[in-house]
Amino acid sequence: MIKEVNYRVIYGDTDCGNVMYYGNYLRLFEIGRTELIRSTGLSYKEIEEEKGIILPVVEVFAKYRAPAKYDDLLTIKTSLKELKTHKIVFEYKIFKNTTLLTEGYTVHVPINREGKIVKFPEDIYKILKNLLKK
């Protein structure tokens, strides 16, 4: 499954060259990831508060192909690339119209509130498994 979310570049996203600052693409990755999970009927908030599971980013990769600029309307396309009991990998592609601007991925591990790596609870794992790219 691929989830699409639109995002308009605000002035605060840009640097002095009127180009979106490279670190802000990670915020767009987070927006895409959050909305992909929300599309299952589950939210990050529920995973954290009800299940006690936190999903920190342990690895990130981004490849920048073309710049986004102030007021550009972007489309964030997010999918789940890999799911294991102790790891999840999301893929992202950010477009302006049909032009691919940035692509990348994030790797996350489920941890408990004490910071220990744990397995995904069975119910959460099943929900996330339905998101895997076919």
Residue span of the structural domain in which 82 resides:
2-129
What's the pLDDT tens digit per position in 14-27? 998 899 999 999 99
What's the pLDDT tens digit per position in 53-104? 999 999 999 999 999 999 999 999 999 999 999 999 999 999 999 999 999 9
**What pTM value is reported for the model?**
0.93
Which one-letter DSSP state was computed for residue 60? E
Kindly report the number of other CB atoms within 10 A of residue 108's CB atom: 17
What's the pLDDT tens digit per position in 103-130? 999 999 999 999 999 999 999 999 999 9
- For residue 117, the surrounding DSSP H or E stretch is none
Residue 85 resides in a domain: yes
* Catalytic pick among 15, 71, 72, 123: 15
What lies within 8 Å, CB to CB, of 9 at 6+ separation is: 20, 68, 69, 70, 71, 72, 73, 74
Residue 134 resides in a domain: no
What per-residue confidence (pLDDT) applies to 134?
Answer: 54
Give CA–CA dist 21/77, Å, rounded: 19
Q: SS3 for 34?
A: helix
What per-residue confidence (pLDDT) applies to 50?
Answer: 87
| Annotation marks residue 123 as catalytic | no
What per-residue confidence (pLDDT) applies to 17?
Answer: 87
What per-residue confidence (pLDDT) applies to 86?
Answer: 95
Q: SS3 for 133?
A: coil
Give CA–CA dist 72/19, Å, rounded: 10
What per-residue confidence (pLDDT) applies to 133?
Answer: 60
Q: What phi-psi label fits residue 9: left (phi over 0), alpha (psi between -120 and 50 degrees) or beta?
A: beta
One-letter amino acid at 19 equals V
CATH code of the domain in which 37 resides: 3.10.129.10
Residue 61 resides in a domain: yes
pLDDT above 90: percentage of residues in the chain: 87
Give the chain's domain count: 1
